[in-house]
Chain A
Amino acid sequence: MTDQVLPQVTDLPSTVAALKERFPNAVKDDTRSGYQGVIVDPAHLTEFARVIRDEFGFNYLSSVTAVDYLGHGDHLEVVYHAYRVPSGGKPLVFKAQTDRNDAVVPSLVSIYPGADFQEREAYDLYGIHFVGHPNLKRILLWEGFEGYPMRKDYHEAYYEQETKPFDSRWPGGHVFRAEEYNPFGHNVRYPAGFTLDDYKPVAEEQLQQGMALGVDIMGDPAFRTDRLIVNLGPHHPSTHGVFRMMVALTGETIESLEPVMGYLHRNHEKIGERNTWYGNMPFTDRLDYICSMANNLAYAITVEQMMGNQVSVPYRAEVIRVLMAELTRITNHLWAIGFLLNDLGAFFTPALYAIQTREYILDFFEATAGSRMMCNYMRIGGVAKDLMARIRSEAALINDKVRDMDTMEYLDKLINDRLPRSIDELDELLSESEIIKSRCIGVGLLPAEMAIAYSASGPLLRASGVPYDIRRADPYSIYPELEFDICTRPNGDIYDRYYLRLDEMRQSVRILKQILPRLKDTQGQPIFGGKTSYSIKVPAGEAYGHAENPKGELGFYCVSTGGGNPWRYHVRAPSFINLTPLGEMCKGQKVADVVAILGSIDIVLGETDR
């Protein structure tokens, strides 16, 4: 997006070589086996980041996370993945190491604003202080929480053992309720000597500090407008779950907005590090629970990357994976459009249209994977089972006929008729609607430069005119052989995000039409090329795998020490990072539009909070 001429260093090795020349003492190769990228001296980190952004074109900081190497060097490590957008390619991975007892790393927010929430998360869960961060406070937990839970030496109340399967369960065969082994009968742990007698909670107070609450509520009398703090959420019909926005208003205009999250922080990563590699697959379903199939795919890709040539995914499995991923994209976008209309005030009726079509796809998922939403369908090295020959619905509803039809026929009808028809229907009903146009056009603007700087991804990024799609930029599965366009829209407002989703659904249908003959051709071929063992060991090393999920770039950063459990299991959640520019997008808008702007970003709290 910048006009400046980038140096002719396009491949990663020469970039790294050039960087090492530039910073002879501060940058060195990560020589650990299975690792990639460079380790940067924290003292030079800001300078390094500025150079790679301005001189080497890595303008997009996709993922920031931390790893606790307790017992493996005893340091904390912050890991960054930077990309070139929109040209794509492999990431430049750089790391900064710091002491566990005094964890300090300079903040990169001034260079990459998209690091904002991610650094706060690392601070919250690992206790790393990012010097220079403008708003460094807990993000997923609350101020006053005791400890940094993602550190390896943090044990939660129901802690039993480092990794699963727990000995008591297998081979012990003993089952008990964890509650019975807690003095309070709850999932709680308090520091020594804690009582309520003179305790004063600080969570809310800390939250409101940044909003200058209690300073100037009534505003300047000359203006005669009240300055108000309004809380939207966590229980609010517009927030798509348990999300909270604290909004400072002057009249009806937003002065500042502070997203408050963590109301669905269910410790996905901590549990994931105790789980086996296979055991994490069903948990990924529950990240973005509307798109479980796509989450499965991203996780499978990551672990397959680490397994190297130990697994190979058969062609038919890849075909089925893309089929599922693209169907998921359609369900998600249907849902997003239906509920955007909810947010605009057309309560529930448009959503009914969207949900109705979605049900047809869910029926197929249920027949194939056994569950409507939590499919748990993909495996490391393939998929769990082949498509059924016939789709049956045994549980007959009063208003639903007992269904028994050929799967390929069902898919054929769905892809060639029903889905395009419902997409057109939505288009006809909504796109030219005067109300939608007046509410959506020019509202919630996100310019392209800002979208990249804030690490926005998926439809949010493309609606701002940036043609960046991981299916093309860093291809995976069989996307290279499929024909489809990367949709973009020029303006970056709510309307463009809505319309882009329609376009993307049409492209998904186009992909699906190419998938159908491939499905027929590969009938009967193997669908699994992985290990059939109960559990797998993954070679030591790290990997960052990402996929273009309906909501944006879903990435998994995994570290293995060679065992049966991930040492580090991090989710780069698009819903979480896409919220970073929310405050900026809402500034100066009316309070009623905030709801629509949030709806147009399309978040799911399971993924935002993990």
Chain B
Amino acid sequence: MTNGEINLRDLQHPDIPVPEEMQSNIAVTSLSSLYNWARSRSIWPMLFGLACCAIEMIATAASRFDLARFGMEVMRASPRQADLMIVSGTVTKKMIVPIVRLYNQMPEPKYVLAMGACASGGGPFKEGYNVVSGIDKYVPVDVYVPGCPPTPQALLYGLIALQKKIERQSLGVGASVPWYGGGPSEEVPVPILGPDIVDPRHAELLRKEAQKNRVTPTVAEMLAESAQPESA
């Protein structure tokens, strides 16, 4: 994919034979793969850094690792122009509100890459009182990249994995992705900064818990609770 050269053999449908000498000029392929092939090579990430991982993300975009080789160098500051949200760092309860809002503002098709341990599951800061244990508690994630922080090589690998994922998606009926179905997909409800972060999707659960009239138990209290029936 260097120097703007296009390798048509990548696109070639395996069941339709094209003479060998013509393969560099002609490819017979499906609309889905042509569309996805173009899409996966022009992903615009959102210029959006959260924490330490953002520094490695910037290093990935810089000259040594050169994200431009994958058609992804166009970092957009506005979510309206972005295809991919790289969640690069610890997601805190205070920050999840704008993150969900940003995600909702991205046009479809949109993708989320959880970069690093914190974005994937809370990481070293998971137990913190202000830390969301993984961005996937709120928005759907397409690719997880492990590491603390992942090296630029790891991030590139994750992005290539995302490209492959996009290539497999189908425009056809019974689409594998929500945005080619009928109508717009639903927005993720924006969390509320209450006494602790509140996910509006938990409204019913909250009512049920409220009837018990107790402060939400900690892990230690739940463990002690669950240990009793076990020993009995």
Contact = CB atoms under 8 A, between A and B. Distances in A.
Contact of A605 (B51, B66, B203): B51
Nearest to B102: A235
A287 to B, nearest CB: 10
B207 A195 contact: yes
A264 B137 CA distance: 18
Given A187-B126, A187-B132, A193-B210, A242 B220 contact: no
Count chain A CB atoms within 10 A of each CB in B50, B196, B198, B226 and give the residue with the most. B196
A355 B66 CA distance: 12
A345 to B, nearest CB: 13
Contacts of A289: 51-52, 55, 149
Contact of B124 (A197, A262, A283): A283
A373 interface: yes
B48 interface: yes
Interface string B171-196: 00000000000000000000011111
A373 B149 contact: yes
A194 B206 contact: yes
Nearest to B89: A264
Nearest to B64: A359
B210 A195 contact: yes
Interface in B111-154: 118, 122, 124-133, 137, 148-149, 151, 153
Contact of B94 (A142, A182, A187, A197): A142
Q: Which of B94, B151, B226 has the most CB of A within 10 A?
A: B94
B128 A199 contact: no
B153 A155 contact: no
Given A201-B192, A266-B128, A182 B216 contact: yes
Nearest to A142: B193
A237 B206 contact: no
Contacts of B124: 271, 282-283, 286
A548 B137 CA distance: 40
B90 A266 contact: yes
Nearest to A197: B207
Interface stretch (A40-48, A144-152, A208-216, A559-567): A144-152
A149 B129 contact: yes
B65 interface: yes
B95 interface: yes
Given A355-B63, A359-B59, A374-B149, A241 B127 contact: no
Nearest to B49: A241
A374 B147 CA distance: 11
Contacts of A51: none
Nearest to A262: B94
Interface residues of A, number: 75
Contacts of B223: 160, 168, 181
Contacts of B192: 196, 199, 201
Nearest to B205: A184
A11 interface: no
Given A188-B216, A190-B209, A373 B55 contact: yes
B126 A158 contact: yes
A150 to B, nearest CB: 9
B215 A190 contact: yes
A551 to B, nearest CB: 14
B199 A356 contact: no
B18 interface: no
A190 B193 contact: no
B22 interface: no
Contacts of B6: none
A265 B92 contact: yes
Given A188-B196, A263-B94, A237 B220 contact: no
Contact of A178 (B52, B58, B126): B126
A599 interface: no
A186 B203 contact: no
B72 interface: no
A158 B118 CA distance: 15
Given A190-B196, A241-B54, A356-B64, A264 B219 contact: no
A437 interface: no
A267 B52 contact: no
Interface in A229-249: 234-237, 241-242
A271 B128 contact: yes
Nearest to A355: B62
B213 interface: yes
B202 A184 contact: yes
A55 interface: no
Contacts of B207: 195, 197
A372 interface: yes
A395 interface: yes
Given A155-B220, A374-B52, A189 B47 contact: no
| Leading 10 A-B pairs by shortest Cβ distance | A267-B128, A146-B195, A289-B52, A156-B129, A181-B222, A159-B218, A266-B125, A355-B62, A189-B216, A263-B95
Given A184-B209, A187-B133, A266-B92, 8 more contacts: A158-B219, A178-B126, A190-B198, A192-B215, A242-B50, A264-B95, A266-B128, A355-B59
Interface of B: 47-52, 54-56, 58-59, 61-66, 77, 89-90, 92-95, 98, 102, 118, 122, 124-133, 137, 148-149, 151, 153, 192-200, 202-203, 205-207, 209-210, 213-220, 222-223, 226
5 contacts: A156-B218, A168-B223, A187-B126, A201-B192, A262-B130
